[in-house]
Amino acid sequence: MILSSFSFAQQLEGTSTYFEMRKYYANPGKLPDLIRRFEEHTLRLFEKSGMENLMYFVPVENEDNSLTYILGYPDEKARDRMWDKFVNDPEWQEAKKASEVNGPLVKQVEQTFMRLAPGLNNLPKQQPSGIFQLRIYTCYDGRLDNLIRRFKDYTQALFDKQGLKNYPYWVSVERDGSQPRLIYLLGDKDLPDFERAWQNFLKDPAWVQARNGSELDGKIVEKVDAVYLQTLPFSPIK
């Protein structure tokens, strides 16, 4: 499914409410075969099982030989039913077996479950970007709502002011009951433009004032993990 109109949240209304980001670490020399399997078989078979293909990436500096993608599901229970249907599909089993005649393609999979971040997905759908940054924020205890409020009131608009494109925003679903993390994507036309826009954002007096004002009662963000990504040609969202 290709998202084509209105905001991200509006487009998904009545369809996906539960999301999964999956990172695959390919075995040495197997990443091209893995990408080919996704393009020729896996995306179509995900959709056949009822899943929603959203985004497919590889890191700009792919030192860990990885591929990351994001799927949508109607709800948490549907996710498990759909995966059971997918893995037991004879067509998938045949494609997987054929692609691994010379050995397994994937050595490790990381999963992150997510829901849409409240109030942060009402912006218009963006035009395609040439570069993305995936950003994951770990907050101090009890401070996630403060972070979401700062993004809603200030940060998203200040990103837009610098030409950075706001893509979906999620909060993670932590199986151990710990505080969710904020996960989002920013886009721009290329890496130099992104880095220039980011530095302009950090120096913007409006941002400095908003950040300082939001932290009068204490720091909000404990840690930020960020990585530059580029979409694969078959990624529905670009």
Query: What average pLDDT does range 143-150 have in this prediction?
Result: 98
Q: Is the pLDDT of residue 14 over 50?
A: no
Q: Is the pLDDT of residue 4 over 80?
A: no
Q: Determine the pLDDT at residue 9.
A: 53
What phi and psi values does residue 34 have, to the nearest 5 degrees? -65, -45
Angle at 224 between CA 222 and CA 229, to 5 degrees: 170
- Residue ranges and CATH numbers for the domains of the chain are 8-115 (3.30.70.100), 117-231 (3.30.70.100)
pLDDT band at 54 (very low <50, low <70, confident <90, very high): very high
Q: Determine the pLDDT at residue 8.
A: 56
State the alpha helices, DSSP H only, in the chain.
8-12, 31-37, 43-48, 76-87, 90-99, 144-150, 156-161, 191-203, 205-214
Nearest by Cα to 53 from 1, 5, 18: 1
- Under a CB-based contact definition with an 8 Å cutoff, are residues 218 and 140 in contact? yes
CA distance 165 to 123: 10
Query: Using one digit for the tens of pLDDT, what is the confidence trace for 193-216?
Result: 999 999 999 999 999 999 999 999
pTM passes above 0.85 = yes
Straight-line distance from the first to the last Cα atom of the chain, in angstroms, rounded to the nearest whole number:
13
Query: Using one digit for the tens of pLDDT, what is the confidence trace for 120-134?
Result: 998 887 889 999 999
